[in-house]
Structure 1
Amino acid sequence: MANREALRELQTRLASRLQAARDEATSVSSWLAAESAGSSYLLPLGQSGEIFPWVSVQTVPYTQSWFLGVANLRGGLVGVVDLAGLLGSVVPRTEQALADASLLAFNTALEVNAALLVDRLAGLRGTDAFVASEPPAKDSPPYFGTTYIDSSGKRWQELNLQILSRHPAFLSISV
Structure 2
Amino acid sequence: MSNKLALREFQTRLAQRLQAARAQVQTARWLAVECAGLGVLLPLRHASEIFSPIELTSVPYTQPWLLGVANLRGGLHAVVDLGQFMGLRDQAPAPGQGHLVSLHPDLNINCSLWVDRLLGLRSDEQLKTLPTPPGERPHFAVGEREDEQGRRWQQIDLDLLSRFEPFLNIVARVV
> 41-50 or 126-135: which moved more?
126-135
Q: Which runs of 5+ in 2 are unaligned?
A: 1-21
One-letter amino acid of the counterpart of residue 36, structure 2: A
Q: Is residue 65–residue 92 contact of structure 2 (8 Å, CA) maintained in 1?
A: no
Q: Kindly tell me: are residues 144 and 61 of structure 1, through their superposed partners in 2, closer, same or farther at Cα, counting changes over 3 Å?
A: same
Count of paired positions: 150
> How far apart are 1:128 and its partner, in Å?
1.4
> How far apart are 1:114 and its partner, in Å?
0.1
- Which of residues 148, 167, 174 in structure 1 aligns to 2:171? 174
Q: Distance in 2 between matches of 1:77 and 1:105?
A: 11
Match of 1:38 in 2: 37
TM-score by length of 2: 0.80
Match of 2:48 in 1: 49
- Which of residues 133, 147, 155 in structure 2 aligns to 1:150? 147
One-letter amino acid of the counterpart of residue 105, structure 2: T
- Which of residues 107, 111, 119 in structure 2 aligns to 1:114? 111
TM-score by length of 1: 0.80
- Pairing of 1:9-20 with structure 2 (within 5 A): none
Q: Is residue 136–residue 146 contact of structure 1 (8 Å, CA) maintained in 2?
A: no
Q: Kindly tell me: are residues 136 and 118 of structure 1, through their superposed partners in 2, closer, same or farther at Cα, counting changes over 3 Å?
A: farther
One-letter amino acid of the counterpart of residue 111, structure 2: A
Match of 1:101 in 2: 98
- 1:160 has 2:157 as partner: yes
Match of 1:127 in 2: 124
In terms of fraction of residues, the more helix-rich structure is 1
SS at match of 2:28: coil
> How far apart are 1:137 and its partner, in Å?
4.0
> How far apart are 1:25 and its partner, in Å?
7.8
CA RMSD after TM alignment: 1.7
Q: Is residue 132–residue 150 contact of structure 1 (8 Å, CA) maintained in 2?
A: no
Q: Is residue 102–residue 119 contact of structure 1 (8 Å, CA) maintained in 2?
A: yes
Q: Distance in 2 between matches of 1:52 and 1:116?
A: 10
One-letter amino acid of the counterpart of residue 158, structure 1: Q
Q: Kindly tell me: are residues 56 and 29 of structure 1, through their superposed partners in 2, closer, same or farther at Cα, counting changes over 3 Å?
A: same
Q: Is residue 32–residue 43 contact of structure 1 (8 Å, CA) maintained in 2?
A: yes
Q: Distance in 2 between matches of 1:158 and 1:110?
A: 17
> How far apart are 1:159 and its partner, in Å?
0.1
> How far apart are 1:59 and its partner, in Å?
0.4
